[in-house]
Structure 1
Amino acid sequence: MNQLVENTSFVKSYLKKNKDLFEEISKFIWQHPETRFEEHESANYLSNTLEQEGFHVKRNVAGINTAFVGTFGEGAPFIGFLGEFDALSGLSQTANLTEYKPMEVGGNGHGCGHNLLGTGALSAAFAVKAFLEDNHLPGTVQFFGCPGEEGGSGKTFMAREGVFDHLDIALTWHPSPSNSIMSLSTLANYQIYFRFKGISSHAANSPHLGRSALDAVELMNVGVNYLREHIIPEARIHYAVTNTGGVSPNVVQADAEVLYLIRAPKVNQVEEIYKRVCKIAEGAAMMTETKLTIDFDKACSNYIPNRALEQILHEKLVEAGPGEASVADKAFAKKIWHSLTEGERRNSLDLLKGFGYSGDGSEFEGQFLNESISPYVPSNEINAGSTDVGDVSWIVPTAQCSAATSALGTALHSWQMTTQGITPFAHSGMLRAGEAMALTAIHILEHPDALALIKDEHDKMITKNPYVCPIPHSVKPSVLKK
């Protein structure tokens, strides 16, 4: 038996033997959905599990009480696995149903599959640790507990504090309907609160004495809507009015607030748009004679693919195999497919391409689950989403894969994603991703020449484009406003 087959057999055997443990972890996190920087139960559960497995755990990393790092081994190379475990507000959903039924109306839910993401990365770290022990090899494996990916950019705060600086490579993955390498760059973003302070007054008897903060928010939003025509087409500007000043229409609203999320392919492009949005806000304040406060909330950089590392990760994803869905898996997926809108079904191929799928979708004809692995075709296209993995990729060579955990057409941040979060098919995909990442790490451990090529590619990029963290040092992580 050659070394490649032995390694694959070792990892498959380890994950199969410990399958129940990883499914239990995934289910616990799914059952305790917590939003950004408040993932206390999930963080404690994962940290305790790491310690039980023999990892040294450092908590309260980068001053974030739900961030942690588990470390095993010593010496180079230093291999990191990035794990997420935060949920989304408003996406509560009963598991394994094909109709919308929240467990708690307005409650949290794992509509992005981070219960799977964190556990899959953990399974890879555990498998590599077992491999190091079994073969008495030098090297350090680390699991990074990264909170607040959803709207909080936890990894960007961690990157700002140097948490990833020592790594040789970083690996992660994301649940989706696709088995592929996530080879696309992503959009950088800024998230900012614009708060207006006016003067309250009786809206009928003395409206002339009032200064409406809500008018300022509305005028700002109108101004930004006009700006959309005059920014690059790849950019995105989103907003949510987070304070309308109360529920009394007969009072001139003295306080109002709007939260903006600005995205573009590069940080400097986001910065340019941000400055223009600030001018619009200042104009709205002048028009309404209100006072403006600008509160920078968070940011993240665009993702930088590392082609040399991606190539290895793809080879290992192929070795792990596409998995095989059961009859029950397929029947459930068919019902999920029919719960989607016509527009969501039409978008199913574009959704796959966002995760790095390359093809025309013909292999999915009459199917509702993905049981194939996409060829690896590096792309210069840009995924319109954002991820704080981007900041890690600027610091250390990073690669991401995706493993099919949900029915074709399932969008992230949907109740359908939540309901499929702990199915047998989802857990199969989770462990498939864990296997691919573990095998990639083992390949790096055994092939220093491969690591040299990976680092050379990264160094050439960074030399021309030095990393600057997009979050100012004065900004601290913030929990989700309820």
Structure 2
Amino acid sequence: MTQQAIDQLANEIEALKPEFIELSDRIWELAELKFEEFESAKLQTALLEKYGFSVTRGVAGIETAFCGEYSIGGPVIAILGEFDALAGMNQVAGIAEEKSDNPGASGHGCGHNLLGAGSLLAAVGLARHLEKNGIAATVRYYGCPAEEGGGAKTIMVEAGVFNDVDLALTWHPAPFNGVRSTNNLAVIEYDIRFKGVAAHASNAAHLGRSALDALELTNIGINFLREHMPSDCRIHYAITETGGVAANVVQARAAGRYMIRAPEIVGARALAERVKKIAEGAAMMTETSVELELGKATNSLLPNLTLETAMHEQMTALGPVPFDEADEAFARDIQATFSQEAIDSSIRLYQVREDAFSNSRVDGSQPLHRGLRVFEGKSHFRAGSTDVGDVSWVIPTAQCWTPAWAIGTNPHTWQVVAQGKSPTAHKAFVHAAKAIAATGLKAATDPELIEQARAEWKEKTGKR
């Protein structure tokens, strides 16, 4: 693929961006939670239909999941978008201080307003370019809700909606620009609920059976388990119900949500069984009853170095994100809210050591990443989880990052929400759209790339 073709595609996407910036900002304002992204989905399906895509709603039985297709024959290229927010992360946009105008409300603490808008822009831009240049390929935009705690892609995979797809492409906002091949963690999420017997905590405590005691014993047991599980596994929890705030009542109800992570889904299942036994033991000790409800289960990511290399090559050809002094000034204000430890941790998390454009060391002294991460051609471990992993096990999948946030920003923080409507974030998602679309164009014009990506996927999965 020539530099001229990449430049032409990038210019076409640049011309489309105003409408998608408006989309991203509106999704940021809606901040709809998992499986409740009704308005965010409507906005996206309306744009898909405006640009000639045929739209299927309610994909895999999920009301807020949808698929838009623009078919010119040829290979099927899937582009994945997300658009769900996080609970309790409301934050005023465009300021470098923690401030909520609606305390307790939801907010886009992982930048999924940008993710969805950028992926949708990539799909529209690529489809229009293919049509204009007479290139045979089918572009599908998958509107994937509930990445945060819902695992909608897992449900979509099980429903077979990716079965005829040749490859999948996506991205995520980050403090850095580039491709990183990752092996992250599979995750199983359980809601554990205890039911006991209420009683007066002073004069009739012997008649009570404390669900709160059972929950606390579960957490103590899990703390002991952490010493005896593999070091690359994780267990996190949140107490979701305490049975009330009255200290003079034996609490009859208590519940917690537990996320159990391991490098492979089989390891997560084995660890989940141990957690289940701890909860059952806690119920036995307290003479309460326990119920475990599976919330979600997502697989680990299966890297595809063939596709990732192709995506890195397109990002190299695109050059840096065109930030200006105003972008740097706001990023510097945001960065001032971080400790040096947080900045160093961000660089380690994303494993950005050297810049591919300048060959210089990345040390966090700059507020924004104006370069490109070096792609090592090998995979790295990352202790996070995403339902993109389930897609990667059924079709070759690649993803990139672009620098929507100041260096030092970590996901699921107020700083992410504050930067979610900034010109910096807008430029980053447009750049991601160009990278995804260029990679899709490369696949559409180079059948060998798809064959090689498929061969690598088959070798890693053992599929024929």
Pairwise same-fold verdict (TM > 0.5): yes
Give, as a single letter, the amino acid of the residue that structure 2 aligns with 1:374.
R
Q: Deviations over 1:210-262 (max 9, x none)?
A: 11111100011101100000000000001111111112111111111111100
1:283 aligns with 2:278: no
Q: CA deviation at 1:351?
A: 2.9
Q: Would the aligned equivalents of 1:111 and 1:412 in 2 still touch at CA under 8 Å?
A: yes
**1:34-433 correspondence to structure 2 within 5 Å:** 34-353=32-351, 357-359=352-354, 362-364=361-363, 366-433=365-432
**Structure-1 separation of matches of 2:180 and 2:374:** 12
Q: CA deviation at 1:345?
A: 2.5
Distance 1:276 1:32, change over 3 A: same
**Structure-2 separation of matches of 1:358 and 1:158:** 36
Partner of 2:449: 450
**Structure-2 separation of matches of 1:224 and 1:218:** 10
Q: CA deviation at 1:456?
A: 0.7
Q: Would the aligned equivalents of 1:78 and 1:141 in 2 still touch at CA under 8 Å?
A: yes
Unaligned stretches of 5+ residues in structure 2? none
Q: Calculate percent identity across the aligned residue pairs.
A: 44
**Structure-1 separation of matches of 2:119 and 2:211:** 46
Q: Give the TM-score, by structure 2 length.
A: 0.97
SS in 2 for 1:339: coil
After alignment, is 199-208 or 211-220 more displaced?
A: 199-208
**Structure-2 separation of matches of 1:147 and 1:69:** 11
Q: Would the aligned equivalents of 1:192 and 1:261 in 2 still touch at CA under 8 Å?
A: yes
Partner of 1:469: none
Partner of 1:21: 19
Q: Deviations over 1:126-171 (max 9, x none)?
A: 1111112112232210000000001111111111111111110000
Q: Give the TM-score, by structure 1 length.
A: 0.93
SS in 1 for 2:457: helix
SS in 2 for 1:38: coil
Q: Deviations over 1:270-307 (max 9, x none)?
A: 11111111111111011000111111111100000101
Partner of 1:479: none
After alignment, is 337-346 or 404-413 more displaced?
A: 337-346
Q: CA deviation at 1:348?
A: 2.7
Give, as a single letter, the amino acid of the residue that structure 2 aligns with 1:215.
D
After alignment, is 370-379 or 259-268 more displaced?
A: 370-379
Q: Would the aligned equivalents of 1:330 and 1:368 in 2 still touch at CA under 8 Å?
A: yes
**Structure-1 separation of matches of 2:456 and 2:227:** 37
Kindly report the root-mean-square deviation, in angstroms, between the aligned alpha carbons of the 2 structures: 1.4
SS in 1 for 2:183: coil
**Structure-1 separation of matches of 2:89 and 2:388:** 23
Q: CA deviation at 1:382?
A: 1.1
Give, as a single letter, the amino acid of the residue that structure 2 aligns with 1:248.
A
Q: CA deviation at 1:74?
A: 4.1
Q: CA deviation at 1:365?
A: 5.7
Q: Would the aligned equivalents of 2:172 and 2:400 in 1 still touch at CA under 8 Å?
A: yes
Give, as a single letter, the amino acid of the residue that structure 2 aligns with 1:62.
A
SS in 1 for 2:93: coil
**Structure-1 separation of matches of 2:29 and 2:364:** 34
Q: Deviations over 1:67-92 (max 9, x none)?
A: 00000114330000000000111111
Q: Would the aligned equivalents of 1:183 and 1:305 in 2 still touch at CA under 8 Å?
A: yes
Give, as a single letter, the amino acid of the residue that structure 2 aligns with 1:171.
L
